[in-house]
Structure 1
Amino acid sequence: MNALTDELSTAAIAGEPGALRSVYDALAPRVAGYLRAHGSADPEALTHDVFLTLYQRMPELTGGAAGLRTFTFSLAHARLVDELRARQRQPVSVPYVPEDDHRASDSAEAVAVRAIGSEQAVALLESLNEGQREVVLLRVVAGLSLEETAATTGRSVGAVKQLQRRGLLALRTTARAHGVTP
């Protein structure tokens, strides 16, 4: 994974194609992880939408790498909120046609063994309140600094610190109670 630096940000803002690709390589996996963790129906499509918007608005950016990262996750958050609101208004309904389904099914045991890790992680995150979950995902999954997380969520740095501390303590307690950690 490429590191996002101020020099890379400056080159990307100037429109250098290689720099734009490097910005994408540095941030896209974290953006997709953030969107996936929040339940996006299509995190890859939203990630691409975030970067299309980012590239269009790149000349307006300030703040170097930190500003670019903060703006990127602000876009991701806005796109996620839009998707979730749209889903609430009009759920997606796709008819099932058995004749067109050519998938092979794994055994129930194989599916359970594969899914248990991610299910436990999602269940642990769901045990947090919305503010704690938001801050923990931005800080841990997205790798944002306290200041970047505060800017993205519209909270003070102190509030972000408290939400992170309380969220991590709650995760530790819940994980121990469910035997997830030693």
Structure 2
Amino acid sequence: MPAELTALVRSAQQGDEYAFRMLYRELQPGLLRYLTVLVGPDAEDVASETWLQIARDLTTFAGGPGFRAWATRVARNRALDHLRHQRRRPTLPVPVEALAELPGAEDTAASADEGLGTDTAVALIATLPRTEAEAVLLRTVIGLDAESTARVLGKRPGAVRTAAHRGLRRLARVLAAQNGQDAAVQPAGAGPADGQVADVRSGEDVEAGQGWR
């Protein structure tokens, strides 16, 4: 796919509209999921702004296999600009009952990785601390390697790998706990009751108890 993507980019840079449409079809689903975590219900609008900028700046892209990372960075910058111009900070609460739709998992990062393509899973990722959420999305949903993810986020590859691993393990624990709750009555005060929102933003990663958008 990298070689095929590179060929499409070259054709699009030469004005091939079909090649540009194919680039859109290849990248848009992942970008939209990523932007959903960043800006919530405004993801479609930000995605449109992203593709307008990609179309405008495509000729400035130097080429090579890094187009996916370049486009993702454009999307992230547009999302951050969007958030800076917002007074409110939207959240994506995850109803407890929605967790039942996710695949079962043990307490391992690998098992959590299996269901990350679903919209429900993306909503669950949105409850992670920001660095972990972005690392998981860029590595798992967008499909970037650690080096490309590091360039998008402005971090070291080692820090990206650590954040992604922590995020996956946190998701795995939530899923494992939910599976255990299906077979037992939850004691009072032990966790979210029916109708409440599950939130895994615990520990030192949370900034003053606030969402990160």
Distance in 2 (CA, whole Å) between partners of 1:42 and 1:52 is 16
State which drifts further: 141-150 or 45-54. 141-150
Q: Residue 84 of structure 2 corresponds to which residue in structure 1? A: 85
One-letter amino acid of the counterpart of residue 23, structure 1: L
Distance in 2 (CA, whole Å) between partners of 1:123 and 1:65 is 29
Distance in 2 (CA, whole Å) between partners of 1:146 and 1:56 is 27
Check 1:136–1:181 CA distance in 2 against 1; reply closer, same or farther (3 A cut).
Answer: farther
Q: Residue 18 of structure 2 corresponds to which residue in structure 1? A: 18
Distance in 2 (CA, whole Å) between partners of 1:131 and 1:141 is 15
One-letter amino acid of the counterpart of residue 26, structure 1: E
One-letter amino acid of the counterpart of residue 135, structure 2: V
Contact residue 40 and residue 84 of structure 1 kept, 8 A: no
Q: Residue 106 of structure 1 corresponds to which residue in structure 2? A: none
Distance in 1 (CA, whole Å) between partners of 2:37 and 2:123 is 11
Q: How many residues align?
A: 160
One-letter amino acid of the counterpart of residue 160, structure 1: V
Q: Residue 149 of structure 1 corresponds to which residue in structure 2? A: 149
Cα deviations across residues 17-59 of structure 1 (Å, max 9, x unaligned)?
1111111111111111111122333222211111110111111
One-letter amino acid of the counterpart of residue 130, structure 2: E
Check 1:126–1:40 CA distance in 2 against 1; reply closer, same or farther (3 A cut).
Answer: closer
State the shift of 1:63 in Å: 3.7
Q: Residue 105 of structure 1 corresponds to which residue in structure 2? A: none
Q: Residue 158 of structure 2 corresponds to which residue in structure 1? A: 158
What SS does the aligned partner of 2:161 have? helix
Taking structure 1 as the reference length, what is the TM-score of the superposition? 0.74
Identical aligned residues as a percent: 31
Q: Residue 37 of structure 1 corresponds to which residue in structure 2? A: 37
What SS does the aligned partner of 1:62 have? coil
Give unpaired runs (5+ residues) of structure 2.
91-95, 102-117, 183-213
What SS does the aligned partner of 1:168 have? helix
Check 1:85–1:4 CA distance in 2 against 1; reply closer, same or farther (3 A cut).
Answer: farther
What SS does the aligned partner of 1:64 have? coil
Q: Residue 51 of structure 1 corresponds to which residue in structure 2? A: 51
1:70-149 pair list within 5 angstroms: 70-88=69-87, 117=101, 121=121, 124-149=124-149
State the shift of 1:5 in Å: 1.7
Distance in 1 (CA, whole Å) between partners of 2:172 and 2:86 is 32
Distance in 2 (CA, whole Å) between partners of 1:89 and 1:124 is 21
Q: Compute the RMSD of aligned alpha carbons.
A: 3.2
Taking structure 2 as the reference length, what is the TM-score of the superposition? 0.64
Distance in 2 (CA, whole Å) between partners of 1:149 and 1:35 is 15
State the structure with bigger RCO (CA 8 A, min sep 6), 1 or 2: 2
State the shift of 1:6 in Å: 1.4
Distance in 2 (CA, whole Å) between partners of 1:12 and 1:59 is 9
